[in-house]
Every structure is written in C-alpha cells, then in structure tokens.
Homo-oligomer: A and B are copies of this chain.
Amino acid sequence: MLKSERQEHILREVNIHNKVLCSDLSIKLRVSEDTIRRDLNELAEQDKVIKVHGGALSKSYHTSTYRQAEVYSLQEKTIIAGKAVTLLKEGMLVFVSGGTTNRELARILPPHLSATFFTPSLSTAIQLMEHPSSEVILLGGKVSRNAGISVGGEVIRRLTELRADLCILGTNSIDPEEGITDSDWEVVQVKKAMIKRADKVAALALSEKLNSTQRMKVCDINQIDYLITELPARDSRLLAYRKRGLEVL
C-alpha cells in the first residue's frame, strides 16, 4: 500500500468517526504504529487533522464548534464595524460584501435596527440571520471556494434589479490613485455590480490595506463615499483620501 493511499484512508476514517487511534489504524492498515503516527503528524502539519495523544481528531468537527476563535485583527475590525454601524438607518436597503470585517459588522448590529440586507456572503448571511429585526436576502449562485461568497451571472443579474441605499464593501486593497483593487476576477465582478447599484458606497479597510494595489480594478476612488478604518479620522495616513473627497470615519 502506498503512503498517500494510506493517508487518504486515514483521512476518510477520521472524518467519518471523528477520531482515530494509532493502535486501531496500525492493525487495520497493517503497518507499525510508528508509521501511523508519522502519517498523522504529517496530516496534522497540513491542517487536515488534529493530532492528540493516542490518535487524532477530525478537524472540521473540532473547528466547527470552536470556529469563533480566529479572526485576526479582531480588535481593529470591531472598531471599523462600530463606525460603519453609524451609517445604517432604519428601513435602509443595504448591500454587504464578504470578509470578516463585514461579519463583525453583522455581529454588532444594534438589535432594534430593522433594515434589509442583501449579501452574497455565506458567513455574513449566517451572522445576520441571528439578528432579530432585520431581513436577510442571500444572493445565490456558484460558490467561490476562496472567498466564501456566491459569484457568477445570476448574482449580478439579481443585483441589477435592485437599488440600494448603501453598499458596505470589505476591501483588500485601496489606493488614492488606483482605487479599490482585488485579486479574484469573479469577486471583482460582484463588487462592481454592487457598487453600481448603490447610492452610497462605504469601503471598510484595515489600515494595513491602505495604499496597496492588486491586479484587478474594482472601482475608482471617487466612486467611494465613505472610507472606514480603525484609525482616527484625522490620522495623517488618511490625508490623501480626504483630499480626494472621501468622507473618512
């Protein structure tokens, strides 16, 4: 039996039973426990399983109950989300894109605010779902594995039939000259459609994303109305954006 074949088998086993024991696998696959252990360690390094004393545990089982843990820069993102909330008014129709910052926004939404949210993002939708008084409409389509959002013609077609008061855009790269840029073509198409059909556009970005660019253009800087970062509005790093007419929160 080949090594990779064996590891496939182990992975399948661990996903079905949520746990495996070195001793069991050793017998079932007719190899020494050392080999199993080595396999498990490799799989653990690739984040496929979680290695523990005596065997291994399934990752998805473990992380699905625990998942809250790893939003990086959570502190900053919460600040950003807090500022963004001030733009929301009763009864608004709002587009929300993907990303953890927007998820954070959904989480801290004031409970009484009743607005209608359209989003292609799975995680944002799930978070919004827990909000008591808002309506959530999911834009469906082919799901992009990397981005965790729906993409494709159907999403864009639906967007063209709508008109939003506000579009809240998670931003990977923003630059005073180049505007907002991104790296995934499908995602760019969706963002473009959202911007086009919204009266106002708010860009949410960690300060580390400022003055960076990527391959594909989403929009010009003057198409954006609000720029929200975790920095105070008067921070010098934001000067270039204020000069361009953006309202910096």
B residues in contact with A65, CB < 8 Å: 12, 67-68, 70
Do the beta carbons of A21 and B8 come within 8 Å of each other?
A: no
User: Closest CB of chain B to A123's CB: distance in Å?
Assistant: 7
Tell me the chain A residues, 142-164 only, with Cβ under 8 Å from chain B. 142-143, 145, 148, 150, 154-155, 158
Do the beta carbons of B143 and A136 come within 8 Å of each other?
A: yes
B residues in contact with A43, CB < 8 Å: none
* Interface flag for A217 (CB, 8 Å): no
B residues in contact with A60, CB < 8 Å: 107, 127, 130
Given contacts A8-B62, A15-B107, A138-B141, 17 further A-B contacts (CB under 8 A): A2-B52, A3-B52, A4-B52, A5-B57, A12-B65, A12-B111, A15-B108, A16-B108, A18-B78, A65-B70, A120-B140, A126-B148, A137-B141, A140-B141, A140-B150, A140-B154, A140-B155
B residues in contact with A140, CB < 8 Å: 120, 137-141, 150, 154-155, 158
Tell me the chain A residues, 43-102 only, with Cβ under 8 Å from chain B. 50, 52-55, 57, 60-62, 64-68, 70, 74, 78, 82
A140 to B121, CA, bound (A): 11
* CB<8 Å pairs between A and B, sample of 14: A2-B53, A5-B57, A11-B111, A16-B78, A16-B108, A17-B78, A67-B68, A122-B129, A125-B143, A126-B148, A130-B145, A136-B142, A137-B141, A138-B142
* Interface flag for A242 (CB, 8 Å): no
Do the beta carbons of B17 and A5 come within 8 Å of each other?
A: no
User: Closest CB of chain B to A46's CB: distance in Å?
Assistant: 12
Do the beta carbons of B8 and A111 come within 8 Å of each other?
A: yes
A11 to B127, CA, bound (A): 16
